Amino acid sequence: MISRRALISRRALILGGAAAGAAALAAPSALGEGLPEAVDTLPPDAPQRHLSLVAAETEVPLLGAGKPATSRFCAYNTTPFLTLRAPQGTRLMVDFENRLPDPTTVHWHGIRGPYIFDGVAPITQPTVPPGGRFAYNVPLPDPGFYFFHPHCDETGQVGRGLVGLLFVEDPADRKLGFDLEHIIAVKDWRLDEAGRFLTMFTDEGASTAGSFGTVRAVNGSPIPPRVEAPAYGDVRVRTIVADATRVIDFGCDVDEAAVIACDGQATRPFLLNDAPDNVWRMGPAMRVDVHVRMPGPGQEVKIYDYRTAEPYLLTTLVAVDKGRKKTAFKPKALPVPKELPLPDIAGASHLDFLVQTSAGATAIAPPLPPDDPLAKALIESRCVGDKTFWAINRTSWGAGADLRLPPPLNVLKAGQSYVLSITNVTKHVHPMHLHGHVFKVLSSSKKKTLPQFLADTVIVEPNETVDIAFKAASGNWVFHCHILEHMDSGLMGWFRVA
Ligand code: C2O
Ligand code: CU
């Protein structure tokens, strides 16, 4: 049970406890005067779940049986795609331990909670050093499909497997009467023939569409799942792109398939056939829940990524006779939670953001001299790559020897609604993610048939402008591209909301 006030004093504790390094981290003036209020999103007496979470290296047979296993795989609790389930309204009390040889943090992607547990060094916490621990207090106010991952050397650690899934369950969901839930985690592996990991960050990849895996995989395996479901039954297919790089065009070979949630948030159901290009385009970090109606006995539903020249099979659903009769397909609508703070579009302030290459970026804050005692702590906790290729509004999150922590993109007012127009003037697709908020995707300058929906990550194509709206929550929140080499090479900024 942690009250709002206790959250703040906990922050003081964390900073005090980590001694000089942490104190130094609070020092860069770019962090601003004082700290925003860390606002809890559940009542202090909300039921708690305790979780011991350990990040460590392990060995996993990624190439399949009979092939050499991959060492230095990174996992939570030694389980690839560790999957947590918790009821809506509970609070996860996480005792996290870092047994990796490198610093890390845990970010709870898509969760609305106090920013001091958002896992972003250095603006919400210092990094957790090898052998270190950190207590995360993670309220789960909204049902949905979330995930968690490090926010430090993301390209390397996520690339080697460090991703967990988190389902926040609404008891009302059971009444929807799905016959089966099937999870698809799309994530490729960058391996050589001997099963060893290749370098995750390459200049060529980071400056273009990213470094792709050499082995495509679903749920960790190069062999796509084949699952049985009742003929004429209803399957909830829950898909996440957990890859560092790959963008997919999610689709299937039947007409009776409808999107019911985007990034875990309920949406008014729409047929995949009515989405732009009859597919749901998803970049890294994006999730989609699709209601698939099974065909008659013996028939199959094939779910594909249609983005590649040869469609890539993600899953086969096989219809087995359970004595069901065919009925008309009516997509199941999930309830939109009342607690979700929706933006007030009419009263919103408007902000424009350009996603660019770093050629046009300018240094705003002067770099720290390399012998400054802050420099080392800052480098370690910033967890970035060595090069800068990208920028937002001419500002890059500094990389390598460039020790600037950029000033915030904007200082926003807590409780005020904002419309962000995000324009991509680069040649590559960027899935843009805002921490700590669920936003509404209002419109796209290119995809006229795109429905409005709630999300935490949105694709912005080359020469496209996408408008999103949200009600700002107090905190320091990053806004970045979720192609991990892009974020590690400059495509990240932050908002200070106070
Ligand atoms: Cu999954 Cu900063 O994000
Ligand atoms: Cu990008």
| Domain-embedded: residue 50 | yes
Same domain (yes/no): 215, 69: no
| Domain-embedded: residue 330 | no
Distance 237 CA to ligand 2 centre (A): 26
Distance 138 CA to ligand 1 centre (A): 15
Distance 492 CA to ligand 2 centre (A): 9
- Those residues whose C-beta lies under 8 Å from the C-beta of residue 21, and which sit 6 or more positions away, are 126, 377, 381
User: Looking at residue 9, what is its pLDDT?
Assistant: 34
Same domain (yes/no): 190, 159: no
| Domain-embedded: residue 142 | yes
Distance 229 CA to ligand 2 centre (A): 37
| Domain-embedded: residue 326 | no
CB neighbourhood size of 338 (10 A): 5
User: Looking at residue 91, what is its pLDDT?
Assistant: 98
DSSP string, 148-174: EE-SSSHHHHHHTT--EEEEEEPGGGG
Which CATH number goes with the domain that contains 440? 2.60.40.420
Same domain (yes/no): 161, 182: no
Overall residue count recorded for the chain in this entry = 498
User: Looking at residue 384, what is its pLDDT?
Assistant: 62
Distance 120 CA to ligand 2 centre (A): 18
Q: What does the DSSP 8-state code read for residue 354? A: E
Same domain (yes/no): 189, 159: no
Q: Ligand nearest 431 Cα, by number?
A: 2
- Nearest to 453, CA basis, from 444, 436, 471, 440: 440
- Nearest to 436, CA basis, from 7, 41, 95, 20: 41
Atom 1 (ligand 1) nearest CA: 109
| Domain-embedded: residue 410 | yes
**Closest ligand 1 atom to 285 CA:** 1
Half-sphere exposure (Cβ direction) of 416: Cα atoms closer than 13 Å:
14
| Domain-embedded: residue 331 | no
Same domain (yes/no): 353, 264: no
Q: Which domain holds residue 378?
A: 349-497
Q: Ligand nearest 207 Cα, by number?
A: 2
3-state secondary structure of 425: coil
Same domain (yes/no): 238, 124: no
Distance 477 CA to ligand 2 centre (A): 18
What is the CA 367 to chain-centroid distance, rounded? 30
Distance 174 CA to ligand 1 centre (A): 29
Q: Which residues line ligand 1 (CB under 6 A)?
A: 107, 109, 149, 151, 285, 433, 435, 478, 480, 482
Q: Ligand nearest 208 Cα, by number?
A: 2
- Those residues whose C-beta lies under 8 Å from the C-beta of residue 318, and which sit 6 or more positions away, are 226, 227, 228, 229, 300
- Cα separation values, 399 from 363, 378, 380, 381, 382, Å: 12, 11, 11, 12, 8
Same domain (yes/no): 164, 181: no
**Closest ligand 1 atom to 478 CA:** 2
Are 467 and 424 in contact, with CB atoms under 8 Å apart? no
Atom 3 (ligand 1) nearest CA: 109
Distance 121 CA to ligand 2 centre (A): 20
User: Looking at residue 449, what is its pLDDT?
Assistant: 83
Same domain (yes/no): 134, 188: no
The pLDDT tens digits of the residues spanning 323-374 come to 999 999 999 999 887 889 999 999 999 999 999 998 645 444 455 555 555 5
Alpha helices by DSSP H, listed for 112-259, are: 154-159, 203-206
Q: Ligand nearest 147 Cα, by number?
A: 1
The H or E element that residue 85 is part of is: strand 82-87
Same domain (yes/no): 219, 196: yes
DSSP string, 434-489: ETT--EEEEEESS-TTPPPEEESEEEE-TT-EEEEEEE--SEEEEEEESSHHHHTT
Distance 231 CA to ligand 1 centre (A): 38
- In DSSP terms, 49 is beta-bridged to 92
**Closest ligand 1 atom to 149 CA:** 1
**Closest ligand 1 atom to 147 CA:** 1
**Closest ligand 1 atom to 492 CA:** 2
Same domain (yes/no): 165, 181: no
Same domain (yes/no): 181, 160: no
Instruction: Return the structure tokens found at 382.
Output: 């910033």
- In DSSP terms, 454 is beta-bridged to 440
| Domain-embedded: residue 159 | yes
Distance CA 429, CA 179 (A): 36
Distance 106 CA to ligand 1 centre (A): 10
| Domain-embedded: residue 338 | no
**Closest ligand 1 atom to 457 CA:** 1
Distance CA 169, CA 172 (A): 9
Domain count, the chain: 3
User: Looking at residue 73, what is its pLDDT?
Assistant: 97
Distance 119 CA to ligand 2 centre (A): 20
Are 8 and 38 in contact, with CB atoms under 8 Å apart? yes
**Closest ligand 1 atom to 151 CA:** 2
Positions in the chain short of pLDDT 70: 1-34, 359-386, 398-404
Distance CA 392, CA 402 (A): 17
Instruction: Return the structure tokens found at 311.
Output: 């469609």
**Domain limit, last residue, from 149, 170, 191:** 170
**Closest ligand 1 atom to 110 CA:** 1
Are 274 and 221 in contact, with CB atoms under 8 Å apart? no
- In DSSP terms, 85 is beta-bridged to 167
User: Looking at residue 399, what is its pLDDT?
Assistant: 61
Q: Ligand nearest 118 Cα, by number?
A: 1
Are 214 and 191 in contact, with CB atoms under 8 Å apart? yes
Same domain (yes/no): 261, 292: yes
- Cα separation values, 171 from 32, 87, 175, 315, 497, Å: 42, 7, 8, 27, 33
Distance CA 160, CA 256 (A): 36
User: Looking at residue 400, what is its pLDDT?
Assistant: 56
User: Looking at residue 370, what is its pLDDT?
Assistant: 53
**Domain limit, last residue, from 170, 188, 212:** 170
User: Looking at residue 374, what is its pLDDT?
Assistant: 55
Q: Ligand nearest 428 Cα, by number?
A: 2
